[in-house]
Amino acid sequence: MKHLKSGSHVSLIALSAMLGCAPFAAADDATLYQDTIIVTSNASTLEAEALVAKTAGGAEVVSHDAYADRFLVSLRDTLAFSPGVYTQPRYGQEVRISIRGSGLSRGYHMRGLTLLQDGVPINLADDNGDFQELEPIFFDHLEVFRGSNALRFGSGTLGGAINGVTPTGRTAPGVYVRADVGSNDTARLLVSGGMAGDRLDAWGAISTDTSDGDRDHAKRESVRFNGNVGYAVTDRITTRFYASVNQLNQELPGALTEAVALTDPKTGNFVGDQGRDIESVRLQNQTVIAFDNSELKVGVFMNDKSLHHPIFQVIEQDTQDRGAFARWDWAGDRWEATIGGEARFGDVDYQRYINNNGASGMLSFDADQKAYTSNVYSEVRYHATDRLTLIGGGIYANGKREQFEKFNLFSGGATGIKGEKEFNAFSPKFGALYQATPDIQVYGNYSKSAEFPGYAELAQVAGFVPVEKQTAWTMEAGTRGHHGIAEWDVTAYRSEIDGELLQYTVNAEIPASTFNSDQTIHQGIEAGLSLQLNDWLRLRQVYTYSDFRFDGDVQYGDNQLPVVPEHVYRAELRIGTERLHVAPSVEWVPEGPYADYNNTKKVDGYVLLGATASWSVNDRMDLFLDARNLADEKAIGDASAAITATDASAIYYPVERRAVFGGIRARF
Could you read off the pLDDT of 415-465 as tens digits, one per residue? 788 889 999 999 999 999 999 999 999 999 999 999 999 888 888 777 788
Q: Do 662 and 654 form a contact (C-beta atoms < 8 A)?
A: no
pLDDT at 379 over 70: yes
Q: Where is average pLDDT lowest: 87-101, 282-296, 597-611? A: 87-101
At 21, the pLDDT band (50, 70, 90 cuts) reads very low
- Exposure string over 467-478, b if 16+ CB within 10 A, otherwise e: bebbbbebebbb
At 352, the pLDDT band (50, 70, 90 cuts) reads very high
Percent of the chain exceeding pLDDT 70 equals: 92
How far does Cα 507 stand from its chain's mean position?
A: 34
* Domains of the chain, CATH where assigned: 43-667 (2.40.170.20)
pLDDT at 217 over 60: yes
Q: For the residues 48-76, what does the mean pLDDT come to?
A: 91
Q: For the residues 155-181, what does the mean pLDDT come to?
A: 94
Percent of the chain exceeding pLDDT 90 equals: 78
Residue 169 sits at φ, ψ, to 5 deg, of -65, -20
Q: For the residues 133-155, what does the mean pLDDT come to?
A: 91
- Region class of 265: left (phi > 0), else alpha (psi between -120 and 50), else beta: alpha
Decide: residue 141, CB within 10 A, 0-12 exposed, 13-18 middle, 19+ buried. buried
Query: Beta strands of 136-268 (E only): which ranges?
Result: 141-146, 160-165, 174-182, 186-196, 200-211, 220-232, 237-251
In whole angstroms, what is the distance from residue 614 CA to residue 70 CA? Answer: 10
Classify strands 160-165 and 114-117 as parallel, antiparallel or unpaired.
Answer: parallel
Q: Do 270 and 644 form a contact (C-beta atoms < 8 A)?
A: no
pLDDT at 244 over 70: yes
pLDDT of residue 629: 97
pTM value is: 0.91
pLDDT of residue 486: 97
Q: Do 160 and 148 form a contact (C-beta atoms < 8 A)?
A: yes
Residue 667: name the closest of 177, 323, 246, 284 by CA. Answer: 177
In whole angstroms, what is the distance from residue 213 CA to residue 121 CA? Answer: 29
pLDDT of residue 129: 72
In whole angstroms, what is the distance from residue 624 CA to residue 626 CA? Answer: 7
273 secondary structure, DSSP code: G
pLDDT at 130 over 90: no
Residue 381: name the closest of 108, 53, 102 by CA. Answer: 53
Q: Do 668 and 177 form a contact (C-beta atoms < 8 A)?
A: yes
Residue 10: helix, strand or coil by DSSP?
helix
Q: Do 184 and 213 form a contact (C-beta atoms < 8 A)?
A: yes
Classify strands 220-232 and 237-251 as parallel, antiparallel or unpaired.
Answer: antiparallel
Number of H helices, E strands in the chain: 5, 33
